[in-house]
Amino acid sequence: MRPLNTPFFYISAIVAAAAALVAVLFSDISWDNFPQMALFIVLIVVASFLIIQDPSGGVVSSTGTLFYVVLYVFNPITALVIVALGYSIGNTLPRSWVTWRTFFNGAQMGLSVFLGGLAYGKLGGNTAAGTIASQLIPAFAGALIHQVANNFFIAFLISKLRNLRFFRTWMNFIRELLWSNLLSVPTAILIAILYVRVHHAFVLMFLLSLPFQRWALRLYLEKRNTYARIVEHLVRAGEMSLPGSGGHAQRVANLASAIGRRLGLAERDVEAVGYAALLHDIGMIGMDDQIISKEAESDPKPLVEAHVRLGAEIVGDLGRTDLAEMVLHHHAPYIRDRASKPEAWVQPSIGARILALSEEVDSRLHGLFPYQDPAPLESIRRRLEEGLRGSDFDPQVVDAFLTMVREREHAPFELGDAEVIPAEG
Amino acid sequence: MRRELTIQIFYLIAAGLAIGAAFVGQPSLIALRPHWLVVLLLLAGLAFWFEIPIEPYGSLNLSPVVVLVTTSGYGLSSGLLVAALAPMTRLLIRRLIGSPPIAIGRILVTGGEAALALWIGFRMSSLVVSTESQGQLVSLMSLSGVTLAATFMLIAIRVALEESISFRRLLRPLARRVIPHFLAMMAAMPIVWLTYALLGPLGIVLSMVVMVETYYPWKLLGEQRDLFLKSLQMFSNAVDVKDPYTAHHSKRVAQYAVRLARLLGAPEDEVNRIRIGALMHDIGKIAVPGNIIRKPAKLTDDEMALMKRHVGAGASLIEGLEILEDSRDIIQSHHENYDGTGYPAKLAGAEIPLGSRIVFVADAYDALTTDRPYRKGKTRSEAVAILTANAGSQFDPSVVEALKTILGKDY
C-alpha cells in the first residue's frame, strides 16, 4: 500500500489517544480482576479466529457480542484494555502481520468500547444489581455508541484510502450493521447478567452457539454459490439464441455492481443490481426471431419497449418488485428520448439508473441490439461527457463510471474486486 | 378444496375440545396477568415471522418456545390461549405492517394444531412427571419433548392428508427436516427457563431475541433456496413465452408431475428430482426459433427435426450443473412413447425413466387443456379421454390412471 500522509497521521493519532487514555486512567483498571480479564481476552481471540464471510459481503466475526458483554461487565478503561489486547491479537494471529493494522484495529476498537462503556455507565447501567427493565436503555445506548464510534473510525480511514465521501461511507456502515448489532444486544445482556449474577461459566454459553451459527452460515454460502453458478449458466444459455450477445449479461452485471459499490450502495442493493443486470434481457429469449428480423433493424423501438415489459413481467415471478422495476427501466433513456411526454416519465430507482448506463455502455461497446456497430470506448466516453450526462443518464452514475474508466487507464483495475478492511459486525 | 375444508374443520373441533377440557374444573382459569398475556401473545405472533422452511411441507417457527415456557410458568390454560391465539396475532401484525394477508383457514389450522399438540403434550407428560414439580425445569423439559413430538405427528398427518402422500412414506423425509430444529429448541429450553425464573416474563422476551439471532442464518438459507426455485421457474417461463399461449406451462406441468410422482409412490428425493425435471423440461426450446414454436399449421419435416432437437439441447444445457444435472435423464426422455416409437432414443416401457413418463403425461394434459389461437382448449374430460385412448401406445397407462385419480371425480 502506498504510504499516504493523512491516513498515517490519523492512525498514529488513534493509537496515541488510546495509549494516553490507558496512561491517565491506569489506576482505574481493575487489575485485581486479572483472571477475568484474561478469560475475556482469550475468548475474544478465539472468536476472532472463527471469522465467517458475511452473507451480505464483508466479514462477520462473533466478537461483537463479546465486546458488548465486556462493556456491560467491566468499567470503561478496563474494557478498553481487554478489547484492545484481545482484538489486536485475534486479528493478527490468523492473518499476516501488518504493523499499522494490528495497532490501529486494537486501538480503535478499544476506544469504541470505552465510549460505549462510558455511555452505559452514565445512563445508569448496572449489571450486578438493578432490574432487567432498567438495564435495557443503557445497554442499547452503549451498544449504539460503540457502533457509531467504531464505524466512524473505520469509515474515516477507508474514505481517505479509497477517495470516497466520508459522511456517506460512515452512514452506509451504520445502516448496514445497525440491525444485526442491535439484535445481538439481548444476547449480550443475557450473558452479562448470567455471568455476573449466576455463574462465570455462563459466558461459555456463547461459545456453544458459535459452531451452530457457523454451520448454518457455511451451508448458506455454499448454496448461494451453487445457485449463482446455475443462474449464470442459464443466462449464458439464454444468450445463445441471440446473435453476438454472448457474455453481455455477465459483463453488464459486473459493471453495474462495480458502479454500485463505487457509489457506496449497501451490499444488499449492489447484489440486487447485479442480479437484475444478469436477468435484464430475459424477455428477449421469447422474442429471438423478432430481434433478428428486418423490421427490428429499421425500427427497433417497439421491440425495445416490448422486451423490457416482457422481461419485467417474467422477473416479476420472482416476487421481487425491486428487480422487476430495474429490468423495466433498463432502456429508459433509449425509450425516453423518443417519447413525446416527458412528464409521463416515472423516476427510476438508483439501481435502474445504474443498470441503464451499464447496459448502454456494453451494448455500444459491442454493437449489440438496439445498436448495430461497435463503438470504441473513447467515443462512448465523449458522448457521455458532452451530451448524455444529465439529460439521459444520472450525472452521479456517469461520473462514477468515468472515474472508474480513468483509474483503469492508470492501473489495471479489477472490477468489483477491491480489498475490504473488515468493518466490525 | 373440499379436502382442505375437512381438515380445517377437524382441527377446529379437536382444538376446541382440547381447550374446553383444559378449562373445565379450573376456577382460576388464567394465572397470567392480562398485560403479560398480551406481551407473550405478541411475542408468539412475532415468532412466526421467523419461518424456517421445511420444503415442501410448509415451515416451522419459534412460537412453540414461547408457548411451552408460558405453559410451564402459568399453567395449561394460559399456554393454550397463547398457542391458539398466536396465529391471530400474527395476522394482526401482518395487517398492521401491510403484508399480504393469510387465508383465515390456515390461521385456524395453525392455531388449532399448536393447541392440540400442547394439550396432548401436557396430559402425557403429567403422567410421567408429578404435579409438584410444576414450574420446574424437569417438567418443562418433559412437556417440551412430548409436545414437540406431538407437533411432529400432527404436521405429518396434515401434510399426508393435504398432499395425498402415504403417512409412512412421509415420516422419514419429514423427520430429517424437522427434528434437528426441534432438538435445537429443546437445547435452548433450559436457558429460556433460567432467564424466565431469574427475570420473569421479560426474560422470555430477551431469550427469544437471542434465539432469533442464533437462527438468522437458517432464515437466509430458506430465502435463498426459495429465490433459486423461483429463478428456475422464471427461466422456464422465459422460454415458455416464445409462444405467448404457453406462459407458465412449465410451472403447471411441475405441479401435476409432483402430485403424480407422489401418488405413484416415488420417494421424496425422487419427487424433488422430478419437480426440477418437469420445471426445466422445455428449457431446450431456447435453441428452437420462436416462429417454429408458434407455427399454427403442421410443421414441415425440417421444422419437426429442429423441434425434436429441444430434448437433447435441454439435456446438454444442464450438463455439469449441480442440482439440475440430476434431472438430466428426465428431460432427455420426456418425448419417448411407451411403445418405443418416440424420440430421441426410441426407448420403451420401463426403459423410460419414471420421471419422463410422468412429465410426458403432465405436459400433454396441460397442452390439451390450454387455449390456442387456432383452437379452444379441450375440457378436462375430453383431455382425459384422449390420454386414455393413447395409454399404452404413447403414455404409460399407470401414469394416466394416476392422473385420473388426481383430477378426482369431476374430470
Q: For residue B90, give the nearest of B70, B126, B66, B55 by alpha carbon.
A: B66
Q: Is A262 exposed, middle or buried (0-12, 13-18, 19+ CB in 10 A)?
A: buried
pLDDT at site A113? 94
A193 chain-B contacts, CB cut-off 8 A: 198-199
What does the pLDDT average to over B35-51? 80
Amino acid in the structure at residue B337 = N
**Distance to chain B for A55, nearest Cα, Å:** 8
How many C-alpha atoms does A128 have within 13 Å on its Cβ side?
A: 4
C-beta separation of A147 from A178 below 8 A: yes
In this predicted structure, the answer to whether residue A312 has a pLDDT above a threshold of 50 is yes
Q: SS3 of A53, please?
A: strand
Q: Do B238 and A314 touch (CB under 8 A)?
A: yes
In this predicted structure, the answer to whether residue A191 has a pLDDT above a threshold of 70 is yes
- Smallest CA–CA distance from A287 into chain B, residue: B242
| CA end-to-end distance (rounded Å), chain A | 25
C-beta separation of A280 from A252 below 8 A: yes
**Distance to chain A for B155, nearest Cα, Å:** 24
In this predicted structure, the answer to whether residue A410 has a pLDDT above a threshold of 60 is no
- Smallest CA–CA distance from A281 into chain B, residue: B238
Q: At what angle do helices A301-316 and B201-240 cross, to 10 degrees?
A: 140
A205 chain-B contacts, CB cut-off 8 A: 191
Residues 6+ apart with CB under 8 A from B299: B292, B307
Q: For residue A324, give the nearest of A386, A368, A282, A381 by alpha carbon.
A: A282
Q: For residue A56, give the nearest of A279, A274, A270, A324 by alpha carbon.
A: A270
Q: At what angle do helices A5-24 and A76-92 cross, to 10 degrees?
A: 130
Q: Do A223 and B241 touch (CB under 8 A)?
A: no
C-beta separation of B292 from B303 below 8 A: yes
Cell of A322: 425491486
Alpha carbons B227 and A65: distance in angstroms, whole number = 30
Which pTM was predicted? Answer: 0.73
Give the H or E element holding residue B318.
none
Helices and strands (H, E) in chain A, number of each type: 19, 2
Q: Do B231 and A318 touch (CB under 8 A)?
A: yes
Give the pLDDT confidence of B48-95 residue by residue, as tens digits. Answer: 777 776 766 777 888 888 888 888 888 888 888 888 888 888 888 888
Give the pLDDT confidence of B4-34 residue by residue, as tens digits. Answer: 677 777 777 777 777 776 666 554 555 667 7
How many C-alpha atoms does A62 have within 13 Å on its Cβ side?
A: 20
Alpha carbons B356 and A50: distance in angstroms, whole number = 46
Give the pLDDT confidence of B116-129 residue by residue, as tens digits. Answer: 899 889 888 888 77
What does the pLDDT average to over A125-149? 87
What share of residues in chain B are helix, strand, coil (percent, to 5)? 75, 0, 25
Q: Is B65 exposed, middle or buried (0-12, 13-18, 19+ CB in 10 A)?
A: buried
Q: Position of cell 493509537?
A: A15
What does the pLDDT average to over A26-52? 84
Q: How far is CA A411 from the centre of its chain?
A: 24
Cβ count near B394 (within 10 Å)? 20
Cα torsion angle, A119, A124, A130, A133, sign: negative
What does the pLDDT average to over A174-186? 81
Q: Do A227 and B218 touch (CB under 8 A)?
A: no
pLDDT at site A141? 94
Cβ count near A36 (within 10 Å)? 18
Measure Cα distances from B292 to A195, A379, B237, B286, B300 in Å. Answer: 73, 40, 18, 12, 10
Q: Do A285 and B287 touch (CB under 8 A)?
A: no
B283 chain-A contacts, CB cut-off 8 A: 234, 237
Q: Do A220 and B220 touch (CB under 8 A)?
A: yes
Q: Do A227 and B231 touch (CB under 8 A)?
A: yes
| Per-position DSSP letters for A122-191, written without gaps between them | HTT--SSSS-HHHHHHHHHHHHHHHHHHHHHHHHHHHHHHHT--HHHHHHHHHHHHHHHHHHHHHHHHHH
pLDDT at site A348? 79
Alpha carbons A371 and A364: distance in angstroms, whole number = 6
Mutating which of B227, B295, B303 best tests the A interface, going by the most A Cβ atoms within 10 A? B227
Q: Do B218 and A310 touch (CB under 8 A)?
A: no
Pairing, β A52-53 against β B59-60: unpaired
Mutating which of B36, B202, B213 best tests the A interface, going by the most A Cβ atoms within 10 A? B213
**Distance to chain B for A354, nearest Cα, Å:** 22
Q: For residue B60, give the nearest of B141, B159, B140 by alpha carbon.
A: B159
Q: Do A238 and B286 touch (CB under 8 A)?
A: yes
Give the pLDDT confidence of B130-154 residue by residue, as tens digits. Answer: 666 666 788 888 899 999 999 999 8
In this predicted structure, the answer to whether residue B217 has a pLDDT above a threshold of 80 is no
pLDDT at site A48? 79
Lowest mean pLDDT among A38-42, A168-172, A365-369, B17-21: B17-21
In this predicted structure, the answer to whether residue A416 has a pLDDT above a threshold of 70 is no
Alpha carbons B156 and B150: distance in angstroms, whole number = 10
Alpha carbons A90 and A113: distance in angstroms, whole number = 16
B25 or B248, greater pLDDT? B248
Chains A, B: CB contacts within 8 A come to: 130
What does the pLDDT average to over A347-360? 87
Give the H or E element holding residue A59.
strand A59-60
- What is the band of B164 on the pLDDT scale with cuts at 50, 70, 90? low
- Smallest CA–CA distance from A187 into chain B, residue: B210
Q: Do A227 and B228 touch (CB under 8 A)?
A: yes
Alpha carbons A207 and A223: distance in angstroms, whole number = 25
C-beta separation of B284 from B334 below 8 A: no
What does the pLDDT average to over A147-165? 84
Q: Do A289 and B324 touch (CB under 8 A)?
A: no
Mutating which of B219, B229, B241 best tests the A interface, going by the most A Cβ atoms within 10 A? B241
pLDDT at site B106? 78
pLDDT at site A276? 93
Q: What angle is formed at CA B363 by the lines to CA B372 and CA B231, rounded to 5 degrees?
A: 95
Interface of B with A in 150-189 (CB under 8 A): 184
| CA end-to-end distance (rounded Å), chain B | 15
**Pick from B213, B224, B238: which is nearest to A285 by CB?**
B238
C-beta separation of B245 from B373 below 8 A: yes
**Pick from B200, B217, B242: which is nearest to A213 by CB?**
B217
C-beta separation of B189 from B141 below 8 A: yes
Cβ count near B407 (within 10 Å)? 15
Alpha carbons A170 and A156: distance in angstroms, whole number = 7
Measure Cα distances from A145 to A91, A116, A117, A178 in Å. Answer: 22, 5, 9, 11
Interface of B with A in 297-336 (CB under 8 A): 317, 321-324
Find the DSSP H helices in B264-396.
Answer: 268-279, 290-294, 301-317, 328-332, 354-369, 380-389
What percentage of chain B reaches a pLDDT higher than 90? 20
Mutating which of B35, B286, B319 best tests the A interface, going by the most A Cβ atoms within 10 A? B286
Evaluate the omega torsion of the peptide bond into residue B56 and state whether it is cis, within 30 degrees of 0: yes
pLDDT at site A342? 47
Interface of B with A in 222-241 (CB under 8 A): 224-225, 227-228, 230-231, 233-235, 237-241
In this predicted structure, the answer to whether residue B219 has a pLDDT above a threshold of 80 is no
Q: For residue A331, give the nearest of A403, A275, A283 by alpha carbon.
A: A283
Q: SS3 of A257, please?
A: helix
Average pLDDT of chain B?
83
Interface of B with A in 49-68 (CB under 8 A): none
In this predicted structure, the answer to whether residue B287 has a pLDDT above a threshold of 60 is yes
Mutating which of A317, A321, A322 best tests the B interface, going by the most B Cβ atoms within 10 A? A317
- What is the band of A219 on the pLDDT scale with cuts at 50, 70, 90? confident
Q: For residue B252, give the nearest of B122, B173, B370 by alpha carbon.
A: B370
Give the pLDDT confidence of B189-212 residue by residue, as tens digits. Answer: 888 888 888 777 778 888 888 777
Lowest mean pLDDT among A251-260, A373-382, B82-91, B379-388: A373-382
In this predicted structure, the answer to whether residue A409 has a pLDDT above a threshold of 70 is no
Measure Cα distances from B67 to B51, B81, B119, B126, B128 in Å. Answer: 16, 9, 11, 17, 20
Give the pLDDT confidence of A57-84 residue by residue, as tens digits. Answer: 455 667 888 899 999 999 999 999 999 9
A287 chain-B contacts, CB cut-off 8 A: 290
A238 chain-B contacts, CB cut-off 8 A: 235, 238, 286
B199 chain-A contacts, CB cut-off 8 A: 132, 193
Q: Is B381 exposed, middle or buried (0-12, 13-18, 19+ CB in 10 A)?
A: exposed
Pairing, β A59-60 against β A52-53: antiparallel
What percentage of chain B reaches a pLDDT higher than 70? 91
Give the pLDDT confidence of A279-292 residue by residue, as tens digits. Answer: 998 888 877 777 76
Q: Is B21 on the interface with A (CB under 8 A)?
A: no
Mutating which of A234, A267, A303 best tests the B interface, going by the most B Cβ atoms within 10 A? A234
- What is the band of B174 on the pLDDT scale with cuts at 50, 70, 90? confident
Give the H or E element holding residue A52.
strand A52-53
Give the pLDDT confidence of A376-386 residue by residue, as tens digits. Answer: 788 888 888 87
A54 chain-B contacts, CB cut-off 8 A: none
In this predicted structure, the answer to whether residue A18 has a pLDDT above a threshold of 90 is yes
Give the pLDDT confidence of B356-374 residue by residue, as tens digits. Answer: 999 999 999 999 998 876 7
Evaluate the omega torsion of the peptide bond into residue A370 and state whether it is cis, within 30 degrees of 0: yes
B405 or A72, greater pLDDT? A72
Average pLDDT of chain A?
80
> What's chain A's length in residues?
425
